Amino acid sequence: MDTHAFASLAQVRILLVPVGNISESTFNKYATELRTFDAIRLGDIPADNKDERARFMPNPLSTGYLHLSFPTHPPPFSHLPLSLLRPSNFPLAVIGLAACSKTDTLPTILAEFNSALLDIFPAGGMYPLAKNCFVFEEGEGNTNVNLGDNLPSLVVIPSMMGNKKLYIGTLLADLCSHVLGEFGTLVQGLESPAGNEHLNSALMPMLPPPDLAQPLDNGNGRKRDSLPPIPNGHSDMKTGFNLSSASNKRNSSSGSAFRHSTLSVPPAKKRLSSIGVASSHGRLFKVLGDFYLLAGRTEDAAVWYNEALLLFKSSSDAIWQAATLEGMATVSIIDAWSAGQGLNTSISSNKDQWIDVFDKLSQAITLYHRSPSVDGEHNYSLLAYLYSCSVLRQASLLFSIWSAKGWGPLAFSTMLQPGPTPYLPPTLSHEGLTSWAHLERLSTLSGISRSNISTVLSQVHGPWLLHLGPRERISILENTASLYSCLGYRRKEAYILREVLGCILDLIVCGREEDGFSRLSSVPLPAGLGIQGPNSAGSSQRGGNVGVRFSENMDGNESVLKLLKYVCKVLGINLDAVRVLENPDVNSAPVETSTASIEDEIATEFSEPYGWPELQVGVVREAVAVAEALPDYLAVAQFALSSLKTLQSVLSSGDQYHLYATANRALLTAHRRGDSKSVEYWSGKPLVSISLSPLPLVRLPIEKPLSALQARASDIAPILTGATDPFLYNPRRALGQGKTLVVQNELLEFVVALRNPYVFDLEIQALTLSTSGVPFESKPVRVVLPSTSYHVVTLTGKATETGPLVIRGCFVQAPGGTKREFTLPISTPEEEERISRRRAALECEVGRSKYAGLDCFPWEKAGKRSSAQLSTSTTKTPLRFSEFTVVPEQPLLRIRRTSVTHGAVMMYNGEMSTIRVTLENVSPLPIDFLRLVFDDSTIAPAQQALANGDLSVFDTYETEYDLLHRPVFSWNKEETKDIPPGHKLTVNINCYGKVGCTTGTVHVSYSYVHRPAANLDPSPPVFHTRQLSYPVMVTVYHMLECQGMDILPFPSVPSDLNDEQADGDEYRGNEAGWCLFSVEVRNTYGLPFEVSFERIQQGRLRSTTSTTVSPGSTSRMVIPIKRFILSEAHISQPIPTLSDRQFIVTKSKLSKTQERAQRELFWYREELFKNLRGRWREAGGSRSGDLSLRQQRMSLPMLETLRTETAAIQMTLHRQEGEDKVPCTVTGGKFYPQSSEFVYLRTKVTNLSLTSQVFTIDFDLQSSQHIIFEGLLRDVPIGRLESGESREVETGLCFLAYGRFEISAEAKIVGSSESKGTGRLTAMVRAEG
Amino acid sequence: MSHHLFLLSPSDTPLYSLTHYSTKPASTIASPLSSNLPNWSTSAFAGTLTALSGAGSSAHQTASGTVRMGGGQDRHVIQIIANASLDAIEDIMKTQNAMFLKSVDKFNEWTISAFITPGNMKFVLLHEGKNDDGIKSFFTDVWELYVKTMLNPFHTAHTPIKSLVFDARVRASAKKNL
């Protein structure tokens, strides 16, 4: 569009107009060709020396140049008032460009050209001064070219012409010559007094040709060949001088009048009626200067400008004065250019050379700025335009010098011939040259700092911009933005660009509101759009007004969006954070993986705030609004979502709602309109965790090696080894072993936790599991995540084959977006390590800023980081995901019914009862493996105690015995058999009442082991079982309590009473090897029980004692037991352990003897319990059970009583009757010897022990003074006795008194003082008779 | 006459901002060019444009006479001007050693002065009149207060300053100096 080249005042504008149906590319081609003629040597211009037309013609030998520019847009009509003040603003000539094909005839082309001109230039304007139409012949055609000669303003350029350029140059020179001639005519009109008055009549006078022509000269307006009086001469150099003196004189006379008039009457009031009144010639001289400048005659221009300035100094015609100053500044640059033409060497940073120009422009700017607003409303826009242009001119002066590294030819050509990219000088056009250092270098070289340029440039910005028409405003803002951009002031550039966008969008919106048609042509879209027809004639004839839907004109949207993104980027918002992707094929699996997601997460965790939050929010809102207004729905969605993603912490909740709603709406619209693109998933990583919801225990398959089916060789009951798993099948153990097992064709439930950090409810259109491995059937789920919370979703699916199943993560798809996979790898230690390292490094870095401002955009940070710690962590280990093993289909069993009511069993302690459980196979697979395992509440504490190892050996044995031999539950393995599908099986389970048991569980493991091998591969050495658990509540009543066990000696019955009342010869007291076992049985329950103890000693008669124990009472049960002795070998065995425990160190610190005593106690107790059995029965009921004595302890006295003595001593008294020794009379176990008579005490010692021993006997005669005895009483040797052998010793005695004598004997083993057996004899000595 | 102070972190994030209305009258001379502005109400975008070009504030000025108490100035525009002035500030601070950059930039009716701490914090002040000495001493006060705030070990270069004491003291200094 409009360029504001510095030297635009000196450029003859030639408008290029497309004529006929010339294509855009062809037009551009020819236009480019024409544009190569940016300057024409004055010498090349054919002089037309006719009268006044010759005035501006170049001298034949002049060396100057005529500068040309070729715009393709005419200035807006509103600029017409500038036509005398700023003639260079208007196209002085028009060239129509037409392409001639066979069908076109030249007259029609000419007609079209003329009508186009009528459209472009209003009737009132004085420009263009010349016109021509270039018809380029296309192809090899031989059209009616010849006709061209007849038409005056039409030139046909044949396609076969060799040196087109030369020809065109000639044509252009002709055209320029014409223009210069017209200058003369024009000036002639103005020089007349009427013309001069007209010139001074208004601030910005217009010169309508008829107005000027008719009253002054009566000729027709087009050909001004009449000669108004010209005060000044013909030859140029001389006239300049004369004129100046003349004007000086005139000035002195008329200046005051003029001043007076301006002071009293505003110029606006001046009418054409005041023609003839002498006015200052300042404006006239200025116009002359302008024309001379355009004509390339700078010396003349300078002279006239100086004249004008002198006049303006006294009058206050600020605008004209300023315009003059601008012209003078241009003159200096042109002169400098011509002087330096061809010399590329001299570049200087000396300010003196351009400070003059700069000052002139500053002066002009000040004048414009302060110009009084006198001339009615409409002038504001033009004044503001002039002001802005002059500011831009000054800025571009500095900029050109700066960018050209100093005052030199390069700077001049930049100012004169800006070329296609006026604001991208060669010094800045390379990529790397925009660095700060380079820009600063330019400043140093040229002596102009960038802030200087910026200060000058910032003057252009102000409220007055609103006065400008949209076209001028956009143009000026664009230029400003480009300058800022080149200076590297990107924030300022962004500021200005926002205004540009505002302008453009305002026009779009307004244009749309007015009507649907004009919008397309009247909206000036941003630069780079290319040529637009200057007139919308083509579009205006489109018919239709109702119900027509126009397809949106998408031209330029791209550029607007680009600008938006750029502006946002400068403010630190990445609007491309959410990418727009081509909608992928539904079938093709997205290959994209988000492996770096963890890094991203950490990075975002430590991201520092960048930018100005309030500005960012504002600019984002604006961006969305702009995209909506265009409308570009995808861009709306992209912008809204990008800002949600990147600015989440900054946006208020209202904004978040708004952006989300807008994005959704826009996406819907875009889809409705068939847009094939969509946005990628945006809302960070929503996935928090995925876990398989644990299978119900009945469905959980457990892997077992096939070898488990073989008979077990080991003898240790697993129930004792509590530390290792006591159960054959433990579901918890399986979980710990890595891969979880799932079953083929059974529904799996995955619990997915999702997160929504936003304040609105986030909708996810489709959420599916991302799996690899075996095929997995699942359906996408639509989820709405509540705002700022975590949400748990259950996804179900089914694996259809056996093998490994890997859950990688989830596919997430937002409405209208594309699918994206979020993986959830299992963190390995290395990964954890790596992440924590990274985190630490970032943590160390956070809060420190190496780069500031625009150098530290968040998205550039990673690239600029030079920390070695962070960069080296790129070695990727393959990610691990949670894996499951899909096993073949499994049968399913259920408990159909049980005999237990309410799941509870009630028993008395020691009672045995039975539970019946009926199992049913509800699957289509048979069950050929069934096993029951039990658990109850007594097992765990016992195992715990065993595992602790604190128990004494004795207690250990007791506990182990309890576990092994008295389990609460047991079953008969023989009952198992195959269960075909749909069949039932009843299993009997025995229960034993054990005090302390509260609950128990029956675990049923089953499987289909012997399935037909479908495939040929070796069958896996495993099979899978499932488990069914049946919990049972157990209540055991503790009703009978045994206590106070005792073993008493069976005393010798005094024979006085009755010798024969005992049962045969069974119980013969101690001497006969009997003792009494007694225990107290207490009934703590509410019912009477009948308790019986039975002796089942080997080789003896069975005997029972029973009694009924009533509630609350205690009964002592007594039963005689034959004493026994255990062999030394038996006793010396250590207390056995039932498990395979190895006691490495005996913990007890017992001495040898103590240990032996303990062992003895143990073994005798065991033997005792083997020989006794306690039973109870409900009185009047049917329930019965065992009564356990195991709680009872055995003490040493009891042991002594129970154990048979080592030696048995039998003593008898004998009388000497002749040779024979006759036993004395014995009555009731007492002997009745005579007194004072010699008797023999015969003592028989029997070795009852199981080894041979050497015995001695000690006698104890209590009343020894009344007894005479023979031999020794102490240590009477008996000698060695084999086991069971007996020997007698005789001792002579004589009782010397009457009375009762007790004689006792004690057997001892030689070398020990311990009594091994005692004997006793009572003798009654009485007087005869 | 109003003053706008912004404390900007190295990443251009404002950590603290203050709007101060001084009792001194505004002394700016409005250009005749900016009078009689057309009344734009065509679209929302025109509103943006109006605000950004600075017409909003001057429109307000003409509406309510010479006294202008805040409200009419678009906060957003003030902020974006402050932000844009960072270009000039960054440019100059690279070549000059001075901490106090007086009148470093001008935009619309605003003059921008800046103060750069050794930690690359930028204090940006938008003001209308000329008051170099006052502004310099104001900046020095603010710097001292800022340094005291930074002594807090939990305060990083990116932590917004929310201390009421800081605020009160800055206001007091503004009252005194501006």
Closest residue in A to B155 (Cα) is A847
DSSP state of A278: -
Same domain, A1209 and A1173: no
CB atoms within 10 A of CB A789: 11
Question: Before B32, cis peptide (omega within 30)?
Answer: no
A126-140, A208-222, A332-346, A1254-1268, range with the lowest pLDDT:
A208-222
8 A C-beta contact, residue A195 and residue A189:
yes
Write down the H helix ranges in A647-688. 653-672
pLDDT surpasses 60 at A593 = no
- The pLDDT of A142-151, averaged and rounded, is 52
Spatial contact of A735 and A764, defined as CB atoms under 8 Å apart: no
Q: How far apart are CA A1125 and CA A1073, in angstroms?
A: 10
Residues of A in contact with B35 (CB under 8 A): 373
Of A1062 and A375, the structure prediction assigns the larger pLDDT to A375
Could you give the percent of chain B with pLDDT greater than 90? Answer: 24
Same domain (yes/no): A409, A526: yes
pLDDT score, position B26: 60
Residues A1191 and A1306 in one domain: no
Whether the predicted pLDDT of A198 surpasses 80: no
Look at residue A449 in the predicted model and tell me its pLDDT.
85
* Count of the separate structural domains present in chain A: 5
Share of chain A above pLDDT 70, in %: 76
Strand partners, A795: A750
Mean pLDDT of A396-419: 80
pLDDT at residue A893, rounded to an integer: 87
- Asked if residue A1275 and residue A1194 are part of one domain, the reply reads no
Q: What is the pLDDT of residues A832-857, one digit of tens each?
A: 888 888 888 878 777 777 777 777 77
Higher-scoring residue by pLDDT: A659, A700: A659
Q: Of A1037, A1058, A1089, which marks where a domain is finished?
A: A1037
- Residues of chain A with C-beta less than 8 angstroms from the C-beta of B53: 461-463, 465-466, 499
Give the gap in angstroms from C-alpha A508 to the nearest C-alpha of chain B. 10
Strand partners, A1279: A1255
Q: Which of A377, A614, A852 sits opposite B79 (nearest CB)?
A: A614
* A857 belongs to a structural domain: no
DSSP assignments along A1067-1113, one per residue: --TGGGTEEEEEEEEEE-SSS-EEEEEEE--TTS--EEEEEEEPTT-
pLDDT tier, A140 (very low <50, low <70, confident <90, very high otherwise): low
Rounded Cα distance, A286 and A274, in Å: 21
What are φ and ψ of residue A219, in 5° steps? -75, 175
Which of residues 566 through 595 in chain A touch B, CB cutoff 8 A? 571-572
Q: What is the mean pLDDT of residues A949-974?
A: 79
**Residue A212: pLDDT over 50:** no
Summarised one tens digit per residue, pLDDT across range B6-55 is 999 888 889 999 988 877 766 555 566 666 666 544 556 777 777 777 66
- Put simply, the answer to whether A608 touches B158 (Cβ < 8 Å) is yes
Model pLDDT, residue B169: 92
Does A1181 lie in the same domain as A1104? yes
Contact B91 A488 (CB under 8 A): yes
Q: Residue B33 and residue A374: Cα distance in Å, rounded?
A: 11
In chain B, domain spans: 2-27+74-177, 32-63
Q: Which residues contact A179 (CB under 8 A, 6 or more apart)?
A: A12, A92, A93, A129, A130
CB-nearest partner of B90 from A509, A618, A853: A853
Q: How far apart (Å, rounded) are the C-alpha atoms in residues A1080 and A1117?
A: 6
The average confidence (pLDDT) of chain B is: 79
**Is residue A894 a part of any domain in this protein?**
yes
The tokens describing B11, both together, are 């990443």
For B88, phi then psi, to 5°, come to -65, -40
Q: How many CB pairs under 8 A join A and B?
A: 186
Q: Which of A766-780, A792-806, A895-909, A1215-1229 has the lowest mean pLDDT?
A: A1215-1229
* Spatial contact of A1293 and A1268, defined as CB atoms under 8 Å apart: yes
Q: Comparing C-alpha atoms, which of A1179, A1183, A1163, A1159 is closest to residue A1171?
A: A1163
Q: Does residue A962 belong to any structural domain of this protein? A: yes
Question: CA triplet A939, A942, A943: central angle to 5 degrees?
Answer: 80
Does A1045 share its domain with A1184? yes
Is pLDDT at A58 greater than 80 in this prediction?
no
Same domain, A1048 and A1002: no
Of the residues A530, A560, A575, the one at which a domain ends: A530
Cβ distance of B91 and A489 shorter than 8 Å? yes
Cα separation, A261 vs A279, in Å, equals 10
Match domain B2-27+74-177 to its CATH number in 3.30.450.70, 3.20.20.70, 3.40.50.2300, 3.40.190.10: 3.30.450.70
Q: CA of B49, closest CA in chain A: separation in Å?
A: 5
Question: What pLDDT does residue A229 have?
Answer: 36
Residue A410 lies in a domain: yes
Q: CA separation (Å) from A1288 to A910, A1247, A1249, A1278?
A: 52, 12, 17, 8
Q: For A231-262, how does the pLDDT look when each residue is reduced to its tens digit (9 = 90+)? A: 333 333 333 333 333 333 333 333 333 333 33
- Rounded-to-integer distance, Cα A1171 and Cα A27, Å: 128
For β-strands A1238-1247 and A762-773, DSSP reports them as unpaired
Asked if A686 and A821 count as a contact pair (C-beta separation under 8 A), the reply is: no
Q: Over the stretch A1269-1318, which tens digit does the pLDDT of each residue have?
A: 887 778 888 888 887 788 888 888 888 888 888 888 888 888 777 777 77
Q: How confident is the model at residue A214 (pLDDT cuts 50, 70, 90)?
A: very low
Indicate if A998 and A1102 belong to the same structural domain: no
**Token pair for residue A206?**
């217009």
Q: pLDDT (tens digit, 9 = 90+) per residue, A113-131?
A: 888 888 777 666 677 788 8
Query: Which residues in chain A touch residue B17, judged by CB atoms under 8 angstroms apart?
Result: none
Residue A691 distance to chain B (closest CA, Å): 39
Predicted local confidence at residue A253, as pLDDT = 35
Closest residue in chain B to residue A618, using alpha carbons only: B76
Q: Which two tokens stand for residue A440?
A: 């600063």
Return the closest-CA partner of residue A952 out of A1158, A758, A761: A1158
Choose the mutation target among B6, B9, B53 for the interface with A, i.e. most A CBs under 10 Å. B53
CATH code of the domain in which A784 resides? 2.60.40.10
Question: How far is CA A854 from each of CA A571, A648, A759, A1218, B104, rounded to the nearest angstrom?
Answer: 9, 21, 31, 146, 18
What is the structure's pLDDT at A225?
A: 37
The predicted pLDDT at position B164 comes to 92
| A495 at interface of B, judged by CB pairs closer than 8 A | yes
Among the residue ranges A323-327, A968-972, A1143-1147, A1193-1197, the one predicted with the least confidence is A1143-1147
Quick one: A964 and A1079 in the same domain? no
Q: Which of A508-522, A889-903, A954-968, A1271-1285 has the lowest mean pLDDT?
A: A508-522
pLDDT, tens digit, 9 for 90 and up, residues B116-150: 998 888 999 998 888 888 999 999 999 999 999 98
Compute the mean pLDDT over every residue in chain A, rounded to the nearest whole number.
75
How far does B38 lie from chain A, in Å, by closest CA? 7
Q: Which domain holds residue A1267?
A: 1205-1325
- The least confident of A42-51, A76-85, A350-359, A1003-1012 is A42-51
The verdict on a CB contact (< 8 Å) between A611 and B94 is no
Q: Identify whether the C-beta of residue A1302 lies closer than 8 Å to the C-beta of residue A1222.
A: no
Question: Would an 8 Å CB–CB cutoff place A465 in contact with chain B?
Answer: yes
Same domain as A1312, residue A1246:
yes
Summarised one tens digit per residue, pLDDT across range A1059-1077 is 444 444 445 555 567 788 8
Give yes or no for a contact between A117 and A131, defined as CB atoms under 8 angstroms apart. Answer: yes
Q: Which of A777-786, A1057-1066, A1138-1147 has the lowest mean pLDDT?
A: A1057-1066
Residues A83-103 pLDDT 10s: 778 888 888 888 888 877 666
The reply to whether A186 falls in a domain is: no
- Helix ranges restricted to H, A1195-1285: 1196-1202
Question: Is residue A623 within 8 Å of residue A502, measured between CB atoms?
Answer: no
Q: How far apart are CA A1088 and CA A1085, in angstroms?
A: 8
Measured distance CA(A203)–CA(A206) in Å, rounded: 10
pLDDT tens, residue by residue, A707-737? 666 655 444 455 554 444 555 565 555 444 5
Please state the three-class secondary structure of A1276-1310 as a single string.
EEEEEECCCCEEEEEEEEEECCCEEEEEEEEEEEC
| Confidence at residue A424, expressed as pLDDT on a 0 to 100 scale | 66
**Region of poorest pLDDT, from A196-200, A611-615, A821-825, A836-840:** A196-200
Output the pLDDT for position B58: 42
pLDDT (0 to 100) of residue B142: 93
Instruction: Please give the pLDDT value at position A310.
Output: 84
**Residues A1246 and A1197 reside in one and the same domain:** no
In chain B, the largest separation of any two C-alpha atoms, in whole Å, equals 55
Is A1271 within the bounds of a domain? yes
3-state DSSP helix/strand/coil % of chain A, to nearest 5 = 40, 25, 35
Q: List the one residue out of A130, A141, A117 whose CA is nearest residue A48.
A: A130
Strand pairing report for B14-21 and B2-8: antiparallel
**CA dihedral of A823, A828, A829, A830, whole degrees rounded to 10:** -70
List Cβ neighbours of B29 (8 Å cut-off, separation of 6 or more). none
Phi and psi, residue A656, nearest 5°: -60, -45
Same domain, A1161 and A1074: yes
Does A132 map to a domain? Answer: no
* A734-748, A996-1010, A1110-1124, range with the lowest pLDDT: A734-748
